[in-house]
């Protein structure tokens, strides 16, 4: 078995525990992002929120902020050390709006080399190593800059075994992302397609699952996009068809207002899934074993790097 690479070092898969597969802990968005609610810059607030998450039974999360959106590996390391939460950080880039200035003048191999270095050696001079690879597409399209990132992600994946976890804009281009990565030799079982609950269509989810890829149901608690009751209906339907082990849950709570720790107590916070959503899912008929698979066993399987 391969190890899981956290910001504090490698751990055994059995040590991971209950895991959210797509969250944001610290972000320093570029100047083009004028909505200050999207800037999550307080280490103190993050430490409080992740402490609450730990008390609720959460043990790990994948922090999906890439370089072009203000990744802060040293802050992540400090927060992990203070809270006991395993944090897995990402290498890679976001959608065209953010990644183009970073990748347009570089080759696929150059991008892949940077991803590989960040996984195996460390991010810049921090000594913190990434444990997953991120790639993203725009609404209804994969731009040339984005395609370059996907191909680089595939090459870094082949060298490390790291999971490729994606951003889809409103759930679009999931099948196209899978086809692109498959053209580079990536097995769908090593892909996690993000934000599919932005496209709450059972036939679409089923088509993604049939490829073997994993589905990110990662907008939980964001009722402005979709009622959680509908998310539960879709999860139950997918589980009934045998796809529970391909479902990964998270909240993608990338606004300060989503976190009680920032002071207004208005958002769902990191405890919402554990204290409210999962009990509701269980009451509606998902058994404890299936929940354990989605929250613990599947993350432990997906986050392993190549055994060394």
Tokens read off for 19: 């895991």
Q: Residue 7: exposed, middle, or buried by beta-carbon count in 10 A (0-12, 13-18, 19+)?
A: buried
What pLDDT score does 1 carry? 75
Confidence of residue 307 (pLDDT cuts 50, 70, 90): low
As a whole number of angstroms, the distance between CA 185 and CA 231 comes to 32
As a whole number of angstroms, the distance between CA 242 and CA 289 comes to 13
- Cβ atoms of residues 120 and 129 within 8 Å: yes
- Cβ atoms of residues 154 and 185 within 8 Å: yes
As a whole number of angstroms, the distance between CA 86 and CA 1 comes to 18
Confidence of residue 264 (pLDDT cuts 50, 70, 90): confident
Residues contacting 122, CB < 8 A, separation 6+? 128, 129
As a whole number of angstroms, the distance between CA 191 and CA 213 comes to 5
Tokens read off for 307: 């055994």
What average pLDDT does the chain have?
97
Confidence of residue 129 (pLDDT cuts 50, 70, 90): very high
Tokens read off for 73: 């590996």
Task: Name the least confident of 190-194, 198-202, 296-300, 304-308.
Answer: 304-308
Report the percentage of the chain scoring pLDDT > 70.
99
Strand partners, 143: none
As a whole number of angstroms, the distance between CA 217 and CA 141 comes to 21
Query: How many other β-carbons are positioned within 10 Å of the β-carbon of residue 217?
Result: 23
What pLDDT score does 263 carry? 85
> pLDDT tens digits for 68-87?
999 999 999 999 999 999 99
Does 308 have pLDDT greater than 50? Answer: no
Strands (E), 93-212: 132-136, 164-167, 191-193
Q: Residue 36: exposed, middle, or buried by beta-carbon count in 10 A (0-12, 13-18, 19+)?
A: exposed
**Angle CA 49–219–54, to nearest 5:** 25
Query: How many other β-carbons are positioned within 10 Å of the β-carbon of residue 224?
Result: 6
What pLDDT score does 28 carry? 97
As a whole number of angstroms, the distance between CA 60 and CA 302 comes to 13
> pLDDT tens digits for 16-66?
999 999 999 999 999 999 999 999 999 999 999 999 999 999 999 999 999
Does 265 have pLDDT greater than 80? Answer: no
Does 138 have pLDDT greater than 60? Answer: yes
> pLDDT tens digits for 231-256?
999 999 999 999 999 999 999 999 99
């Amino acid at each position: 078995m391969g190890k899981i690479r956290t910001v504090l070092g490698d751990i055994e898969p059995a040590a991971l525990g209950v895991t959210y597969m797509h969250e944001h802990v610290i972000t320093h968005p570029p100047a083009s992002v004028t909505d200050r609610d999207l800037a999550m810059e307080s280490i103190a607030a993050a430490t409080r929120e992740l402490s609450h998450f730990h008390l609720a039974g959460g043990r790990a999360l994948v922090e999906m902020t890439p370089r072009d959106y203000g990744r802060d590996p040293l802050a992540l390391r400090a927060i992990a050390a203070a809270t006991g939460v395993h944090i897995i950080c990402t290498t890679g880039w976001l959608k065209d709006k953010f990644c183009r200035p970073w990748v347009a003048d570089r080759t696929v191999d150059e991008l892949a080399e940077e991803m590989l270095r960040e996984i195996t050696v460390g991010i810049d001079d921090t000594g913190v190593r990434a444990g997953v690879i991120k790639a993203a597409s725009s609404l209804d399209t994969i731009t040339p800059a984005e395609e370059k990132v996907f191909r680089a992600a595939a090459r870094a994946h082949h060298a490390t075994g790291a999971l490729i976890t994606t951003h889809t804009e409103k759930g679009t281009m999931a099948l196209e992302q899978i086809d692109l990565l498959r053209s580079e030799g990536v097995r769908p079982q090593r892909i996690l397609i993000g934000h599919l609950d932005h496209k709450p269509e059972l036939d679409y989810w089923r088509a993604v699952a049939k490829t073997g890829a994993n589905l990110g149901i990662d907008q939980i608690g964001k009722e402005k996009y979709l009622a959680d009751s509908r998310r539960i209906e879709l999860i139950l339907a997918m589980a009934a068809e045998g796809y529970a082990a391909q479902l990964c849950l998270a909240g993608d709570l990338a606004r300060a207002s989503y976190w009680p720790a920032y002071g207004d107590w208005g958002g769902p916070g990191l405890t919402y899934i554990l204290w409210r959503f999962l009990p509701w899912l269980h009451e509606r008929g998902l058994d404890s074993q299936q929940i354990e698979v989605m929250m613990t066993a599947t993350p432990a399987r997906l986050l392993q790097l190549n055994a060394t």
